[in-house]
């Protein structure tokens, strides 16, 4: 019954998202895009971050882009940061410095996102298992045996899968504003993503622009004006890789995987979140070792909406779970 409840919540959330975007279309730039008269603007350079170095790492199928801040400490695992669906590592730029006190922080652009370029056209589906394995392969080549893993949205979903499948590699995980739902069938995915997201993507799978009002009403974002500008730039950079990644989330029984996570776990939500806070009552009881925290004055994109409080909560969690 609990698994079915989680699945229903996820399906309702996707229906509400499409419906909400449709209702908001009239009289907006996004509305013009949905009518075929507007598209996302040309890509912009990601906002400058606090990173001390950026890197490119060739993996089978593409090149991972990542950045680092802070010096490695042999007594403490590095913190790995994973961004949201359609985001980029710059989403974490206001939080990363606080986490890099006495240790190294590594922020990745996920495949197809930001500066991580994958060969050939996007597949129909890019699964969470594939994404987690790509990151583990990268960590192997980087000589990193163990990490503290923090992710939001799809990044949080990847964190659950990686921690469950490679428990020896993960010291702790923080899952921020993520849809930790159950498995959907291919038929459900085609209906919920391929057929219902006409207000989010054009027929080729390219993302359509969102508006600040959409972020406020659907995700509860407080500082929506500035965040929306960056969000549209990041979505454009990810392009046709967004929907394949979303299908990979939808096909996975993430809720069923949560009880397999042995590492200490922190669930983080924004107090004004209208998209993911609904998962808290069903997911928190499934944690073996974990709890949840709520960020005040924030919607779903907590590391962007209230970075100072998000950094404090995550830094305290690191202290609690320090391997040193």
Tens digits of residue pLDDT in 187-199:
999 999 999 888 8
Nearest to 189 by CA among 103, 106, 270, 247: 247
Instruction: Give 225-272 pLDDT, tens digit per residue.
Output: 999 999 999 999 999 999 999 999 999 999 999 999 999 999 999 999
Q: For residue 49, what pLDDT band results from cuts at 50, 70 and 90?
A: confident
With a CB cutoff of 8 Å and minimum separation 6, the contacts of 24 are 30, 31, 211, 213, 214, 217
Looking at the predicted structure, is the pLDDT value of residue 21 above 70?
Answer: no
Query: Domains in the chain, ordered, with CATH?
Result: 2-321 (3.40.50.1820)
Instruction: Give 177-220 pLDDT, tens digit per residue.
Output: 999 999 999 999 999 999 988 888 999 999 999 999 999 999 99
Measured CA to CA, the distance from residue 178 to residue 172 in angstroms comes to: 16
pTM of the model: 0.88
Nearest to 269 by CA among 318, 236, 305: 305
Output DSSP code: residue 59: E
Tell me what pLDDT residue 28 has: 26
Tell me the CA distances in angstroms from 93 to 39, 47, 52, 83, one per residue in order. Answer: 27, 9, 12, 11
Q: Is 252 helix (H, G, I), strand (E, B) or coil?
A: coil
Asked if 251 and 127 touch (Cβ cutoff 8 Å), the reply is yes
Looking at the predicted structure, is the pLDDT value of residue 46 above 90?
Answer: no
Measured CA to CA, the distance from residue 235 to residue 303 in angstroms comes to: 17
With a CB cutoff of 8 Å and minimum separation 6, the contacts of 183 are 7, 251, 252, 253, 256
62, with CB counted inside 10 A (0-12, 13-18, 19+), is: middle
Q: For residue 44, what pLDDT band results from cuts at 50, 70 and 90?
A: low
Location of structure tokens 């987690």: 132
Tell me the CA distances in angstroms from 45 to 94, 227, 230, 236, 297, one per residue in order. Answer: 17, 15, 10, 11, 28
Angle at 76 between CA 70 and CA 79, to 5 degrees: 55
């Amino acid at each position: 019954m609990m698994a079915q409840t989680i699945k229903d919540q996820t399906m309702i959330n996707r229906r509400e998202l499409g419906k909400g975007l449709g209702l908001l279309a009239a009289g907006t730039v996004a509305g013009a895009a949905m009518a075929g008269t507007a598209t996302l603007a040309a890509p912009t350079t990601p906002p400058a971050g606090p990173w001390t170095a950026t890197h490119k790492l060739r993996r089978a199928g593409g090149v991972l882009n990542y950045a680092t801040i802070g010096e490695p400490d042999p007594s403490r695992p590095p913190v790995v940061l994973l961004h949201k669906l359609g985001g980029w590592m710059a989403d974490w730029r206001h939080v990363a410095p606080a986490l890099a006190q006495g240790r190294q922080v590594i922020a990745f652009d996920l495949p197809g996102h930001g500066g991580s370029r994958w060969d050939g056209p996007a597949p129909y589906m890019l699964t969470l298992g594939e994404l987690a394995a790509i990151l583990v392969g990268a960590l192997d080549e980087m000589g990193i045996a163990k990490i503290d893993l923090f992710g939001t949205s799809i990044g949080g979903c990847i964190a659950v899968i990686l921690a469950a499948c490679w428990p020896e590699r993960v010291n702790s995980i923080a899952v921020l504003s993520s849809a930790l739902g159950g498995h959907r069938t291919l038929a459900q995915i085609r209906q919920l993503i391929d057929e219902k997201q006409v207000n989010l993507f054009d027929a080729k799978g390219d993302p359509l622009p969102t508006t600040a009002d959409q972020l406020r009403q659907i995700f509860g974002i407080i500082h929506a004006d500035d965040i929306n500008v960056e969000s549209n730039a990041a979505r454009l950079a990810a392009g046709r890789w967004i929907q394949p990644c979303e299908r990979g989330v939808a096909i996975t029984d993430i809720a069923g995987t949560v009880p397999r996570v042995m590492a200490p776990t922190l669930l983080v939500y924004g107090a004004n979140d209208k998209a993911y806070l609904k998962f808290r009552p069903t997911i928190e009881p499934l944690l073996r070792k974990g709890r949840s925290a709520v960020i005040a004055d924030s919607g779903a994109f907590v590391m962007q909406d209230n970075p100072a409080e998000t950094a404090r909560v995550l830094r305290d969690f690191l202290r609690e779970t320090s391997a040193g």
